[in-house]
Structure 1
């Protein structure tokens, strides 16, 4: 099921038949988005057993994933991969709509040179290989996906993730009474005041996901369920992309004098982050001897809720030079 189609053109006596390729986004339901404008994927096709090609397009500027210093936001890559998971689950593995997907881990490494903004939107091709597939009652229950990603034919990134798929009944049991959207949202804590946007590399207070730090516990996660991108539709727990953004902003806050570019993340998800109690974000830079082979810095970010680790991330960054 591909969403790149050919539209026939009526022939004339002197002109050959032309079949131009028309490209458009995949249906929003396949990527679990409410806003059509937030759909980045444009098509998919199988290329072998449990192997697929997925295509995507990035806008030159986005309202939240900002272009800065002529470089596109690496978290566009993370959102593109996130959208691929439900697309292939539904379209390639017949996972019913209403099934909940949940990350176990996610890691990526990218080439920052491939993020440069060009004169047209970036065209991406993702080669996706699925492995370690587990089924429950004949339905997909968990899968690992590996990604080789190119932009306009040039290598951009590699990534790997594993996620689980939960039927509504299983999800209700897993959430133990926390799956009712009305109740969950009614009990959500109000977002705490944001830290100054410049501290975390942001321009607008509404895009800041950290509040003023507590001396013992770190920054408090700001869970603004009205945010039009991070909360594109109502959910019963903090979405994964909010947690990735928190990891990025915490890394930036450690050194606000330089603009950091997250060239890699390695994240493990342990627990759902709930709305009704504070979640605390801590960040600690690695020692210089633990920097990667290119000398890029690494930062360990951890989220705590009710004295338990909800997720941990290692964020690899390099400095963005002003243009």
Structure 2
């Protein structure tokens, strides 16, 4: 039998107080309460807003990182309330693995989305004084009884004294982020939501740490937030697909123009001798070569490992490689595009050291 709910809410206060999930802005809180089912097993309820200013829906589907942020908020909620970790202790992300069912992620623009998460905590570590130092969180999320996703993640916890010993002295003066890449290349609508800056090299970007961003930097932190790194991985995945598809469509259109006898450009021929004549040959017919826009591929599996702190005052480099999935179409090996799943490997380096890695598997948009 469930025990009495530790945290409750009323219709006038649908979400928990921000400090329970390490947020300052109440609008960023996604969790509404939790119950203890038995030791180390809990249910957590969540509500997604109809419109979030940053985790905006893709066509007809909720943002997959909205699910990741929901999982992230579960850790401080349970660490402080179920495991009595004092407020002021620092939580450090170690890894995350999540699988998402896109068919349960449909966006309802006129009604909030309600979730129930069944959570089990394991590999729980404590100090001699009883304070929590680490645990692994396993979550199963349901939406109206439909399986929405699963996640496993691990955090460590440190007192302010130990955290200061780990971090040492580091600059915290914000710097002006480099210019953003084009928003549509990374699946965004507004430049201020772009976390990647272009470089001359394909599949290579510089991370943008915009400390004025109201969601990613909801409160002051002394390093690049984990959710910013996950957003960078997602945007880099989108940009990689955009680059591959752009090259494929360009090559396809050029090949089609040649095969139809149409010249891609008007041709000018100049003859010289006793007289000079210029002949301009215009193609007799120019095919209309347009590619209808297609929704971006949707992330269904996300794995991330946080290896070390990333300083937002030091340049961070993001690179990607891709690997077609087993159910790809015949054009995958020649064009770099797939008709099935594709796995993108993302790496973040700083000072020539790997600090963050991620893999994101995407499928065609349902």
Q: Same fold (TM over 0.5)?
A: yes
Contact 2:136 2:155 (8 Å CA) reproduced: yes
1:205 maps to which residue?
Answer: 191
1:69 maps to which residue?
Answer: 59
Seen in structure 2, the aligned counterparts of structure 1 residues 214 and 272 have a Cα distance that, compared at 3 Å, is farther
1:317 maps to which residue?
Answer: 362
Output the CA distance in 1 between the equivalents of 2:121 and 2:7. 21
| Aligned partner of 2:90 among 92, 96, 100 | 100
Residues 239-263 of structure 1, C-alpha deviations (whole Å, 9 max, x = no match): 0000000000000001225512211
Output the CA distance in 1 between the equivalents of 2:51 and 2:117. 21
Larger Rg computed on CA atoms = 2
2:135 maps to which residue?
Answer: 143
2:122 maps to which residue?
Answer: 131
2:259 maps to which residue?
Answer: none
1:16 maps to which residue?
Answer: none
Output the CA distance in 2 between the equivalents of 1:274 and 1:29. 24
| Aligned partner of 2:32 among 16, 29, 42 | 42
Output the CA distance in 1 between the equivalents of 2:203 and 2:298. 25
Contact 1:290 1:298 (8 Å CA) reproduced: no
1:3 maps to which residue?
Answer: 7
CA drift of 1:190 comes to 1.6
CA drift of 1:319 comes to 2.4
Output the CA distance in 1 between the equivalents of 2:68 and 2:35. 21
CA drift of 1:49 comes to 1.1
Residues 163-208 of structure 1, C-alpha deviations (whole Å, 9 max, x = no match): 1001000000000113xxxx41x1x332000000000000000000
Does residue 53 (structure 1) correspond to residue 43 (structure 2)? The answer is: yes
CA drift of 1:223 comes to 0.4
Residues 91-119 of structure 1, C-alpha deviations (whole Å, 9 max, x = no match): 00000010000111001001000010234
Q: 23-32 vs 155-164, which deviates more?
A: 23-32
| Count, aligned residues | 299
Gaps of 5+ in 1: 7-20
Contact 1:111 1:263 (8 Å CA) reproduced: yes
Does residue 262 (structure 1) correspond to residue 314 (structure 2)? The answer is: no
Gaps of 5+ in 2: 246-293, 329-338
2:145 maps to which residue?
Answer: 153
RMSD, aligned α-carbons: 1.9
1:84 maps to which residue?
Answer: 74
